[in-house]
């Protein structure tokens, strides 16, 4: 938008990293008003801007901060005073009104404040931003991994990348490199010979089968593990933990983490533990501080940091932007490109806070009933590829035609396979459409099918009890019993389903009531 010839290099699909693995909260800043007021101020400023420039990717759920039994009663007045000081709209809500709006909430809640929280579809938002960039002439290269940063003396002059799909490598020469790689920013900076101390903070979240609340609900206390429920699309997400990890690629989910989410959810919504848990996943916060962090990543600020490697390290043509929240991504970009303009000695003002991301599109907040309304209007019940998320065959075809040939990328684009059956009935349909339209070698489609099922399995395994275990038993019978997916060609390749549970063991456990 500022007239630069721009290229984005992303090693996998857009949103494959942290952006596609967070709890979907549009922050009001309320979560940080007491502990991290700088971050809170950034969040509320951007909250208002994002509502104006990209409402299609947001749902205006509103937010509650509630005091549950055992919470510190002195925190409420501090919270209200901090909101007023920073500029976060905050109004006390009578408990009777709170329960009228959210009848499942704990009736023992003693204090409730309303703030302008919301939920965000980070997949849609990212696609919108990328499409806008393309319309201004940018190139977006997905599945292109940075192998090296090129230096000529004290200046970064380009990047050496590998096309993962074609296994080809090439060099991109450029005047400036911006390192905006989130939890991987330290690894990319190391390629330029500089140190960036990114602290990967793992957060585990659990999605419940349906929306137990329609309002974002936070605990009225200092941020801690398992203190927020976010309604997004057809589910609600309980989160989150915050624990330091060494490798952002290695995010094992421990049973105690899932159990903690359910236990804490029970304090907000009685009966939460008995609801159907749909899946669990983990994302990594790109936390940053100059000195080494201790064990508690909650103490690291949530604000963002722009690192000028010329002034700090003597390396020209290179900036790192890291930290921050999804809600502040636009502001982070503005500050970063302001710095690029200064380095390149040009004056080009930012317009992203003033103009819609995609002018001319339907600029309305997301409505939960919109997909069903569209299916009813177009009478496409008989052409659904995914009944859970109401995704039609035509939409899958359009997505494949636009260049999406990895099933997990289609999921991110359409929410295919993200409903209660977790791909049980739509995966083989999408794979069939992919084979029909693209006509790749059949072994490639088989592998795509198995990879998609395995990715779903990773998030299902930590919540395999009750109805979800029964659902997985059915899915296993479909794919392993009928389709023999474990032994489809190509021969000799390790099946992504090879660590699937033992059939008889889980069947007996489910129907004897042990699971």
Res. 43: pLDDT tops 90: yes
In a domain, 405, yes or no: yes
| 322 lies in the same domain as 386 | no
Please tell me whether residues 440 and 494 are part of one structural domain. Answer: yes
In a domain, 320, yes or no: yes
pLDDT digits (tens, 9 = 90+) for 298-349: 556 678 999 999 999 999 999 999 999 999 999 999 999 999 999 999 999 9
Distance CA 27, CA 45 (A): 10
pLDDT score for 215? 98
Give the residue from 441, 446, 442, 449 showing the smallest Cα distance to 407.
449
In the chain, what percentage of residues exceed pLDDT 70? 93
Map tokens 């205006």 to a residue: 60
Helix residue spans in 122-254 (DSSP H) = 122-135, 185-191
pLDDT given for residue 300 in this prediction: 63
pTM: 0.91
384/462 same-domain check? yes
Q: Which residue has the higher pLDDT, 390 or 292?
A: 390
Q: 399-403 long-range CB contacts below 8 Å, 24 or more apart?
A: 400/433, 400/434, 400/437, 400/438, 401/437
376 confidence band (pLDDT: 50, 70, 90): very high
pLDDT at 488: 84
pLDDT at 494: 45
226 vs 23, 33, 210, 240, CA distance in Å?
11, 18, 18, 5
Model confidence at 445: pLDDT above 60:
yes
Question: Which 8-state DSSP code applies to residue 117?
Answer: -
Whether residue 326 is contained in a domain is answered as yes
pLDDT at 75 over 60: yes
Residue 488, both tokens: 């489809």
Q: Are residues 317 and 406 in the same domain?
A: no
Same domain, 421 and 311: no
81-85, 212-216, 369-373: which has the minimum mean pLDDT?
A: 369-373
Q: Which domain holds residue 146?
A: 7-11+124-198+303-343
Q: Is residue 486 part of a domain?
A: yes
258 lies in some domain: no
In degrees and rounded to multiples of 5, residue 61 shows phi and psi of -75, -25
Higher pLDDT among residues 232 and 504, named by residue: 232
Residue 58 scores a pLDDT above 60: yes
pLDDT at 512 over 60: no
State the burial class of residue 247 (Cβ atoms within 10 Å of its Cβ: 0-12, 13-18, 19+).
Answer: exposed
pLDDT score at 320: 97
In a domain, 162, yes or no: yes
Strands (E), 51-109: 58-59, 63-67, 91-92
Q: Which among 343, 361, 395 is the end of a domain?
A: 343
Lowest mean pLDDT among 62-76, 240-254, 400-414, 497-511: 497-511
| pLDDT confidence of residue 301 | 67
324 occurs within a structural domain: yes
Confidence of residue 289 (pLDDT cuts 50, 70, 90): confident
Burial of 225 (0-12, 13-18, 19+ CB in 10 A): middle
Residues 497 and 390 placed together within one structural domain of the fold: yes
- Specify the 3-state DSSP secondary structure of 407: helix
> SS3 for 284?
strand
Give the span between the Cα atoms of 222 and 352, in whole angstroms.
33
Last residue of a domain, one of 293, 326, 343: 343
Using the predicted structure, report yes or no on whether residue 57 has a pLDDT greater than 60. yes
CA-CA-CA-CA torsion sign (270, 275, 280, 283): negative
Per-residue confidence band for 503, with pLDDT thresholds at 50, 70 and 90? very low
pLDDT of residue 221: 96
Nearest to 438 by CA among 411, 403, 408, 412: 403
Determine the Cα–Cα distance for residues 491 and 261; give it in Å rounded to an integer: 41
For range 84-89, the mean pLDDT = 98
pLDDT recorded at residue 504: 41
Same domain, 456 and 319: no
Query: What was the pLDDT predicted at 363?
Result: 82
**In a domain? residue 397:** yes
Give the chain's domain count. 2
Give the pLDDT score at 381: 86
CA-CA distance, 140 to 9, in Å (whole number)? 6
Cα(316)–Cα(156) distance, rounded to whole angstroms? Answer: 6
Measured CA to CA, the distance from residue 273 to residue 259 in angstroms comes to 9
pLDDT of residue 362: 74
CB neighbours of 414 closer than 8 A, spacing ≥ 6? Answer: 386, 389, 391, 395, 396, 399
Name the burial class of residue 502, with classes exposed (0-12), middle (13-18) and buried (19+) by CB atoms within 10 angstroms of its CB: exposed
Residue 260, SS3 per DSSP? helix
Is the pLDDT score of 444 beyond 60? yes
For 227-243, what is the mean pLDDT?
94
With H, G, I as helix, E, B as strand and everything else as coil, classify residue 319: strand
Q: Give yes or no: residues 187 and 317 share one domain.
A: yes
Q: What is the pLDDT of residue 297?
A: 56
**Shared domain check, 309 and 164:** yes
**Token pair in block for residue 157:** 């002059």
pLDDT of residue 500: 38
Q: Are residues 322 and 411 in the same domain?
A: no
The Cα–Cα gap between 354 and 257 comes to 41
The verdict on 336 and 457 lying in the same domain is no
**386 and 457: one domain?**
yes
**Which of 176-185 are b and which e, b meaning 16 or more Cβ less than 10 Å from the residue's Cβ?**
bbbbbbbbbb
Note the pLDDT tens digit of each residue in 110-168. 999 999 999 999 999 999 999 999 999 999 999 999 999 999 999 999 999 999 989 99
Mean pLDDT of the chain: 91
The runs of H, that is alpha helices, within 315-420 are 329-343, 370-378, 393-401, 407-414
Using CA atoms, how far apart are residues 60 and 83, in angstroms rounded to an integer?
19
Average pLDDT of the segment spanning 472-477: 95
CATH number at residue 335: 3.50.50.60
């Amino acid at each position: 938008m500022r007239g630069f010839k721009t290229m984005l290099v992303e090693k996998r699909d857009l949103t494959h990293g942290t952006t596609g693995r967070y709890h979907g909260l549009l922050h009001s800043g309320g979560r940080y008003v007491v502990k991290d007021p700088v971050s809170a101020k950034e969040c509320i400023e951007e909250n208002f801007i994002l509502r104006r420039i990209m409402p299609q990717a947001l749902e205006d759920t509103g937010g509650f901060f509630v005091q549950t039994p055992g919470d510190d009663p002195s925190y409420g007045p501090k919270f209200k005073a901090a909101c007023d000081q920073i500029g976060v709209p905050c109004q006390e809500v009578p408990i009777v009104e709170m329960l009228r709006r959210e009848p499942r909430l704990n009736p023992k809640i003693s204090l409730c404040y309303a703030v302008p929280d919301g939920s965000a579809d980070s997949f849609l938002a990212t696609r919108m931003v990328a499409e806008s960039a393309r319309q201004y002439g940018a190139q977006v290269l997905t599945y292109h991994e940075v192998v090296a940063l090129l230096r000529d003396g004290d200046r970064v002059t380009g990047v050496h990348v590998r096309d993962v799909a074609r296994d080809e490598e090439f060099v991109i020469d450029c005047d400036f490199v911006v390192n905006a790689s989130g939890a991987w920013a330290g690894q990319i900076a190391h390629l330029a010979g500089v140190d960036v101390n990114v602290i990967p903070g793992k957060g585990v979240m659990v999605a419940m089968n349906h929306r137990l609340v329609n309002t974002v609900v936070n605990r009225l206390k200092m941020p801690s593990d398992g203190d927020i429920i976010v309604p997004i699309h057809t589910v609600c997400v309980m989160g989150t933990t915050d624990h330091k990890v060494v490798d952002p690629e290695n995010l094992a989910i421990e049973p105690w983490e899932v159990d903690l989410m359910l236990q804490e959810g029970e304090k907000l919504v009685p009966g939460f533990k008995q609801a159907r848990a749909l899946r669990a996943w983990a994302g990594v916060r790109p936390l940053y501080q100059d000195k080494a962090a201790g064990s508690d990543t909650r103490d690291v600020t949530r604000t963002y940091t722009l690192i000028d490697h010329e002034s700090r390290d003597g390396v020209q043509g290179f900036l790192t932007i890291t930290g921050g929240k999804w809600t502040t991504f636009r502001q982070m970009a503005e500050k970063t490109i302001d710095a690029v303009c200064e380095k390149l000695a040009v004056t080009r003002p930012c317009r992203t806070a003033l103009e819609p991301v995609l002018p001319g599109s339907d600029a309305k907040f997301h409505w939960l009933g919109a997909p069903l309304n569209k299916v009813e209007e177009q009478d496409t019940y008989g052409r659904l590829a995914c009944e859970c998320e109401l995704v039609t065959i035509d939409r899958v075809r359009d997505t494949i035609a636009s260049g999406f040939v990895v099933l997990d990328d289609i999921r991110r684009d359409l929410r295919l396979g993200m409903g209660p059956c977790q791909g049980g009935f739509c995966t083989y349909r999408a794979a069939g459409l992919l084979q029909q339209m693209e006509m790749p070698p059949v072994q490639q489609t088989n592998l795509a099918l198995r990879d998609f099922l395995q990715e779903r399995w990773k998030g299902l395994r930590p919540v395999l009890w009750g109805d979800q275990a029964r659902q997985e038993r059915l899915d296993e019978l479909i794919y392993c019993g009928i389709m023999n997916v474990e032994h489809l060609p190509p021969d000799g390749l390790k099946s992504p389903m090879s660590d699937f549970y033992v059939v008889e063991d889980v069947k007996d456990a489910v129907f004897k009531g042990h699971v």
